[in-house]
Amino acid sequence: MIDNEGFDVGCIWFTDEAHFHLNGFVNKQNWRFWGSENPHLCEEKPLHSLKVTAWVALALQDWPRIEWFMQDEARPHRTEKVFRFLGEYFGNRVIALDYPKFTGTGMDWSPYSPDLIPCDYFL
């Protein structure tokens, strides 16, 4: 779409959320370690800790018109209620896993693609 139809990636609103645990625990879900040796990490995980969740939307241009809305592939984001909400506000300008199957419009998140949302690397 970028090459053939002049799709402007600067007009995509990328979204993601993060959980901040109040006890100081750091969720390293999106951290990646690349190396030839095992780093021998030990990660403590509390069973239930208090946390605050922040949701962020990021556009690559300064406040563009909302052309496309992209959400990650997390299962809670792919419910009928969420898809109805997205359809009401963004119509066919949604990039999300299973969205085209539900609505018949929008762009499907590529299967087995890595989570390359800029929020994971920029914030």
Give pLDDT tens digits for 70-104.
887 677 778 889 889 989 988 888 888 888 888 88
Give pLDDT tens digits for 33-70.
667 787 777 677 656 778 888 888 888 777 656 678 88
pLDDT of residue 31: 60
Q: In Å, what is the CA distance from 98 to each residue of 55, 79, 83?
A: 21, 9, 9
Mean pLDDT of the chain: 77
Q: Given a cut of 70, is residue 121 above it in pLDDT?
A: no
pLDDT of residue 122: 62
pLDDT of residue 37: 80
pTM of the model: 0.61
Q: Which pair of structure tokens corresponds to residue 45?
A: 């995980």
Q: 31: alpha, beta or left, given left = phi > 0 and alpha = psi -120 to 50?
A: beta
Residue at 45: amino acid letter: K
Contacts of 63 (CB under 8 A, 6+ apart): none
In contact, 22 and 53? CB cutoff 8 Å? no
